[in-house]
Amino acid sequence: MKIKNIEKKILCRIFLNNLERKKTLGNIYKYLDIERVELEKIIDNLISKQLIKKFKKNYILTDKGRKSIRIVFTGGVYDIIHPGHIHTLKNSKQEGDILIVSIARDSRVSKIKGRDPINNEKRRTILVSAIRYVDHTLLGSKGDIFTIVKKIKPDIITIGYDQTHQLSELRKLVRTNNMKIKIKKLGSPIPHVKSSSLRTKYKKRIR
């Protein structure tokens, strides 16, 4: 079945609005350049194609609707935003229709890295949410990434070029849970940038 570009965008927006517990059609005009009459026509079409259905006063995607969009999931600390992050987020978005980003909790950063993040989780969320490739951010679970993966059920998980530690863990999770999720390690940008080398640079330069 062929789905028009605008139909797909509306499916994505309905999915996101449900995720953000908003009215599913309320803010669609803000994001899409569409008139009310046209929107109503498309909504009717999506219902007759069995891609969405009414649920209480809102709409939700049917299984068929959910399968017709591609959700990308990625995560990280994003403490000092650098061009490498932008590269990873842009490439992640290009893998699908919606990019959802999990921001590591302060408590988890301290535990893994042995130091507090410079920007706390609230500030890191503000920064990542402002990046144009990001459709939705959420705070990571206090435990591990898997709780969220099970909730979001993404089609693909992308791993930044400088993140290696999670790759084998994730592959194992997906296999043992029999989940159909592609895991993709993204390539490196040029020039090569890593948060940890930036930190050294900051330290040297800041006088």
Tell me how many degrees the CA angle 61-62-68 measures, rounded to the nearest 5: 75
Q: What's the rounded Cα separation, in Å, for the pair 110 and 79?
A: 12
In the complex, minimum distance from the CB of residue 2 to a second copy, in angstroms, rounded to a whole number: 14
Binding piece for a second copy, criterion CB under 8 A, among 19-27, 99-107, 114-122, 147-155: 114-122
Q: Confirm or reject binding of residue 123 to a second copy (CB under 8 A).
A: yes
CA distances from 12 to 30, 81, 158 (A): 14, 26, 19
Among 90, 136, 182, 184, binds a second copy (CB under 8 A): 90
Q: Of 117 and 181, which CB lies nearer to a second copy in the complex structure?
A: 117
Binding piece for a second copy, criterion CB under 8 A, among 44-52, 101-109, 118-126, 146-154: 118-126
Q: Of 26 and 83, which CB lies nearer to a second copy in the complex structure?
A: 83
Q: Of 82 and 182, which CB lies nearer to a second copy in the complex structure?
A: 82
CA distances from 197 to 20, 57, 74, 204 (A): 35, 51, 22, 11
Q: Confirm or reject binding of residue 132 to a second copy (CB under 8 A).
A: yes
Q: Confirm or reject binding of residue 113 to a second copy (CB under 8 A).
A: no
Q: Of 132 and 180, which CB lies nearer to a second copy in the complex structure?
A: 132
Label residue 114 left, alpha or beta by phi (over 0 means left) and psi (-120 to 50 means alpha). left
Q: What's the rounded Cα separation, in Å, for the pair 93 and 176?
A: 27
- Count of CB atoms situated within 10 Å of the CB of 18: 16
Q: Of 183 and 198, which CB lies nearer to a second copy in the complex structure?
A: 198
C-beta separation of 65 from 9 below 8 A: no
Q: Which residues bind a second copy (CB under 8 A)?
A: 5-6, 9, 32-34, 80-83, 86, 89-90, 115-116, 118-119, 123, 126-127, 130-133, 198-199, 201-203, 205-207
